[in-house]
Amino acid sequence: KPLALPGAHVVVTGGSSGIGKCIAIECYKQGAFITLVARNEEKLLQAKKEIEKYSINDKQVVLCISVDVSEDYNQVENVIKQAQEKLGPVDMLVNCAGLALAGKFEDLEVSTFEKLMNINYLGSVYPSRAVITTMMERRVGRIVFVSSQAGQLGLFGYTAYSPSKFAIRGLAEALQMEVKPYNVYITVAYPPDTDTPGLALENKTKPLETRLISETTSICKPEQVAKQIVKDAIVVTMGLFRTIALFYLGSFDSIVRRCMMQRAKSEIADKTA
């Protein structure tokens, strides 16, 4: 059943800019309490002010937390704890912090591969790992991953970026199989080029070929992309491209459910013994 956003606690990483900020606004407009996570404090405060204009009641709160989501897991865990103490358990986590840099393979610094994998992939693992136990215990939760069209298709200029977005898909699909019996739902967004400060930065690094490939499609508005992402997270439906895998996934899910029931039974048996 759909997640009720009024009164829910939504954490948005990368919530101080671009798509993440628009996702925060979209949730806030529907009555959610918001925690914004990003590094730069000034940008966070600026975004908080902007979001607060859309309040629908006087109880709503926008909390700002400055942390690097890709640096140190313990740090991330600590700030999530702080946020939960202030605004209650996280009902929905949106992993939107990310960085795009383009360039030809032979021109890219090796450190760029590390950096993108750290921010885009591990920066989604850490916050998710920090919220998952509570979500499973409460049998409530949504985790949103923001991949990219370049996370479905390897394209010229994206040898560092695409793999970091492909990795997110692998994580999301494996994690969904584990947490479905606990009523926790995972969604992945694959946005096209979207008009944000991040895209402006990326454009400075695009080789000619990448620019020409990008120009074959039009640029989306972040508000529009955010609306779709929030909608998909609230009412989870099966993506069409997964229908072939449906049979297998269905039977794997029943194995997972069976194991969970067995474990619960033996726990009860242990207690009564």
Ligand X SMILES: NC(=O)C1=CN([C@@H]2O[C@H](COP(=O)(O)OP(=O)(O)OC[C@H]3O[C@@H](n4cnc5c(N)ncnc54)[C@H](OP(=O)(O)O)[C@@H]3O)[C@@H](O)[C@H]2O)C=CC1
Ligand Y SMILES: CCCCCCCCCCCCCCCC(=O)[C@@H](N)CO
Residues designated as active site: 147, 161, 165
| Using rule CB under 6 A, residue 227 touches ligand X | no
Give the interface segment with ligand Y, choosing from 63-71, 115-123, 124-132, 144-152 (CB under 6 A). Answer: 144-152
Judge contact between 14 and 39, C-beta under 8 A: no
Residue tagged 């508000």 (tokens): 223
Judge contact between 226 and 23, C-beta under 8 A: yes
| Using rule CB under 6 A, residue 196 touches ligand X | yes
103, 200, 216 from 209: Cα distances, Å = 10, 17, 11
| Using rule CB under 6 A, residue 153 touches ligand Y | yes
Q: How far is the CB of 49 from ligand Y (least distance, A)?
A: 25
x/- map, 198-237, ligand Y, by CB under 6 A: xx--x----------xx-xx--------------------
Q: How far is the CB of 4 from ligand X (least distance, A)?
A: 26
Give the burial string for 148-166 (b: 16+ CB within 10 Å, else e): bbbbeeebbbbbbbbbbbb
Secondary structure (3-state) at 24:
helix
**CB nearer ligand X, residue 141 or residue 191:** 191
| Using rule CB under 6 A, residue 214 touches ligand X | no
Give the interface segment with ligand X, choosing from 51-59, 74-82, 90-98, 250-258 (CB under 6 A). Answer: 90-98
146 forms beta bridges with: 189
φ, ψ (nearest 5 deg) of residue 95? -90, 95
| Using rule CB under 6 A, residue 16 touches ligand X | yes
